[in-house]
Amino acid sequence: MSHLKLQKLLFYCDAYCLAFFGKELLSDKFEAWVHGPVCRKVFNEMRGASLLYSDMSYSPINGIDEDSHFNNLSIDVRELLNDVLSNLAQWTGIELERATHRELPWIEARQGYGEADKCHVEIAKETTRKFYRTQQGL
């Protein structure tokens, strides 16, 4: 998948964990970049692995086993993540970008910035939690 798509899927996984469970999946913050929410830590780690729209190649660093991290999550969280990913993984990175651009968390963080302006304002986790909670009718 592209780096663009990865960033949006990470954002949505974190957003829905906030909405359903009231706690973040990732302690890392997302910034309101031109192409949508971006986790700077992931961006920095993947910097040389891909271009924005190109499929990336990635090898785990220091032998990290992602499956064991996933299996350490609660069953409820794993089920939610599987649901989110099964629904959104079929979307392209551009479709995910467009979706985030219509949603309050990204819009609110970019207030005062032009469409193509660089912006490193963090998207508020509380705004994200409230917005996606209301989207699910919770």
Q: Say yes or no to pLDDT of 57 above 90.
A: no
| Domain encompassing residue 57 | 3-135
Sequence-distant (6+) residues with CB within 8 A of 51 are: 2, 3
Count of structural domains, the chain: 1
Q: Which of 34-43, 52-61, 97-106, 112-121 has the lowest mean pLDDT?
A: 52-61
> What is the pLDDT averaged over residues 58-65?
56
Q: pLDDT category, 70, cuts 50, 70, 90?
A: confident
End-to-end CA distance of the chain: 31
Nearest to 11 by CA among 122, 112, 120: 122
> What does pTM read for this prediction?
0.87
pLDDT of residue 31: 98
pLDDT of residue 74: 94
pLDDT of residue 54: 60
